[in-house]
Amino acid sequence: MPLITETFDSLPYVDTPLDEQSLAAAKAAINADIRSAGVDTSELHPALIPAAKYTPTFSDFIEREHARLDDDPTSKLSGIDLKRYEDLDAPENTTPTSDEDKPELLARWNRALKQAYTSDEYVQGRLTQLGLLEKFGKNAWLVGNSQLEDILKGIEAELADLRKQQEEVEMLRRSQQENVHGEITTLEETWKKGVGRVLETEVAAEGLKQQILEKRRAGAV
């Protein structure tokens, strides 16, 4: 049964932080390995669209608004013609006998009447909306604030729960790593001693080999 039953990608509470020189050496080794594999890091993946090649498209209305802002950044939105809701100027006065002689004047009166109807409907709707706002606006505003407060409380409770879970995970992670810290240290020292003994054995074997060769040479002479 192995002594270590779990593995970790990183041991921030156990491992000794690397110095700048070691990090630079590791990055250099990684870059050399990437270059040896023939990977060109200067080019993006084909699935990624380069920003320089991306051209946004807008509708005609948005394009016109962009052009308007380019010409005069201080100009206002002109999508709605407010003149139709302003005071109307009445055409020239006519009499029942002169309308037939001036059809263009009659057309102006008809157009002014339609605009007056439109303005009246707008004003009536505006008055209705203002009346509803005055009657129910306060309660609707209070209810909306209450709902927003409930949503905020729910989000804050969820955030507090997530922070608690994060702290529990961090505590568990620290505890697990500190529990195996002694075992990892022992294994590391054992590994170093084993490597040292292997090197000593290789050195001793090489020395013995040299002695055997020297004795053979001496016997041959």
For the chain, how many structural domains are there in total? 1
> Residue 172: inside a domain, yes or no?
yes
- For residue 119, which of 92, 80, 78, 88 has the smallest C-alpha distance? 88
Nearest to 106 by CA among 117, 118, 98: 98
Find the DSSP H helices in the chain: 20-36, 60-71, 103-179, 181-220
Does 218 fall in a domain? no
| 58: containing domain | 20-179
Q: What is the pLDDT along the chain (221 residues), one digit of tens a residue?
A: 444 455 555 677 777 788 889 889 988 998 888 888 777 777 777 777 666 666 788 998 888 888 888 888 887 776 666 666 666 777 776 665 555 567 777 788 888 888 888 888 888 998 999 999 999 999 999 999 999 999 999 999 999 999 999 999 989 988 988 888 888 889 989 999 999 999 999 999 999 999 998 888 887 76
Q: How big is the CA angle at 21 (ends 20 and 26), to the nearest 5 degrees?
A: 95
Global confidence as pTM: 0.44
Would residue 58 count as lying in a domain? Answer: yes
Residue 192 lies in a domain: no
The answer to whether position 175 is within a domain reads yes
Provide Rg for the chain, Cα atoms: 43
The verdict on residue 198 lying in a domain is no
Asked whether residue 157 is assigned to any structural domain, the reply reads yes
